[in-house]
Structure formats: C-alpha cells, structure tokens
Amino acid sequence: MNNGFLKNSAVPSLFPRRTNATMVSESQFITWSNPGAQETAKRTHESIRNAIDSQNWRSDIKYSIYLQGSYKNSTNIRGDSDVDVVVELESTFLPDLSLLSSNEQILYRLSNSGSATYTWQDFRRDIFAVLSSHFGIRNVTYGNKSIKIARSLGRLHADVVVVLQSKKFLSFQAHQNSITTDGIAFCRQPDSKWVINYPKQHFDNGCAKNLRTNGDYKKTVRVFKNIRCRAIDLRLLDSKVAPSYFIECLLWNVPDYLFSGTYQERMIGILDFILKADRSRFFCQNNLHLLFSWDQWDEGSMGAYLGALLKVIKN
C-alpha cells in the first residue's frame, strides 16, 4: 500500500533548507527529546516480579522476568501510561527447523524423543492465576497478546507477555553442536498463531546505534514519539496507525550521521532520507524482520504518520 504523500520531492518543498521559520522552535524539540519518568515503571516491574517469584514453582520450571518496550529501551516519553513486562519460560522452547537440511532435521528429531510435559499454555494459565491472586481478579484480564494488569496507586498499567524461548536453527549436529538465532514466542489469541519476536536483538542494536550517535539516536526517537502523541491529541492520527515500536524501527534505518546538528536540521535530513530511500530494504531494529511486510507495518500507515507529523511541526 502506498500513499500520495510518499513522493521524493515532498520534503524539500515543505522544508526549505535556507530557513527554519516554518518549523516549531528548537526549544520545543529539546523538550520532546527528554525521557519520561522511570521510577513508577520500575516499581510496577518489581511488583510483578515479586508476585511471581513468591510462588512455590516446580523445580523443573525455569523462567526469567524482564522489561520490554520503551522503558527497557530508554525511549519512553512523558505520559507513557503502560509498561511491558515479559515472563519467559526457559525450561522449553519453540524450534524452527526451516533452514536446516533434510539430514539435519532428521538428526534433530532423533535427538528429541518426547514433547514437553509443561507447555506455554500451562505456564500462561499459571501466571494468570498468580497475578489474579496477588493483584485481585478484577484487576487482571486476558488480552490477545498479553495478560493485562490495571493501573493503581503507584503502579502503571502493565501488559504481561508470557512467552517461551524460540530457536531458529541455522545448523544442527547435536544440541551441544548447533547454531541458533534465539528469540521469544507466544501464541496469539484467538487465532492461535505463534508470534516470534527478538527483543534482545532490538535492545542491543538500539544501544549500539545510540552509542555511535553520542546519545542522539534515542533522543530523536523520543521527539518522533512525542510528535505522534501530539498528532493523536489533535485528532490528526489514529492511535493504532503508528505504534511506538515501528517508529523506533523506522528511525533505526536512518544513517547515523543524520542524528546530528540541531533538531530542526535533523528533521529535514531524516525525513528527506526516509522519503527518498528504498524502503523495501528497511529492517526492524532487530535486523531480522523486514519493517514493511504483511505481518509488520505498511507504507500507507507510515505515510499517514509522517503527514500528521508535518502538520504538527509546521507553524
């Protein structure tokens, strides 16, 4: 899907390079670049961790709990009202053998004689029971992708994503002699489709880019996220069109050198690059999934977001 806004000539005509008079002030961009508060997110994460850790789990059930999303990636902005917490079952995993040769797939299956006795569905059910008992049944509900915990005094709304490890096998001779790309997986409701994400790769790649740009990458991400919120408040954009995750992935594809100079200069350079680039080769920040594909974002939604962005920042 394309959008009439996505013409290569759009940015130069809308942002004359000889003047910044048509843009919001530099001080407003600097305000938008500042991070939101972290303490309430940390308390929310800790309360969920304490609730789960307090249970008497079977010795063969291994798990980890960690933040995901804007708070984890330090791209949260003022007014972010929810926090994403991952509870990962580590005692089993979802294998992907599609890249293995026929012989390697046979070797893998011969080395795995049985199926797991404690499944992702069991773990999600048990986590829901634990959270309902701790926070109150009225405050905990099932969503399509997560278990949702309602906001209360001192605690943000939380999306608890219950996952298990995902392993895409690149080669296999034995479990101790294999190469994998590791992610996380959960079964989306109600269509029972497995969704694979790579949050650790996303985090690592974002930190590396932020280091290369002397911290300006994440500051600029916050600017673009704040403009999205402003556009939604002004009813220029539907809240579902441009999720924060995709905005971050979009900017990850922008060359490092464009995250420099004033914010007004950055806006011109970044938008100019995005509109002129071959976006079919844009990747998500995990560098594993194409950004514009059937199960990710679409260029029409990106165009709607950038069109709303221009309306916000032009005086």
Segments making up each domain of the chain, as ranges: 10-36+203-313, 39-197
Please compute the mean of the pLDDT values over residues 78-94 and round it to a whole number.
Answer: 90
Write down the CATH number for the domain with range 39-197: 3.30.460.10
> Residue 1: pLDDT above 90?
no
pLDDT at 315: 63
> Residue 37: pLDDT above 70?
yes
pLDDT tens digit string along 95-113? Answer: 999 999 999 999 998 888 6
pLDDT tens digit string along 195-219? Answer: 999 999 999 999 999 999 999 999 9
The proportion of the chain whose per-residue pLDDT surpasses 70, expressed as a percent, equals: 92
Query: What DSSP character marks residue 35?
Result: P
Nearest residue to 82 via CA among 156, 143, 174: 156
- Write down how long the chain is: 315
Residue 78, SS3?
coil
Rounded CA separation 228/249 (Å): 14
Burial of residue 119 (number of CB atoms within 10 Å: 0-12, 13-18, 19+):
middle
What is the 3-class SS of 86-102, one letter each residue?
EEEEEEEEEEECCCCCH
pTM of the model: 0.87
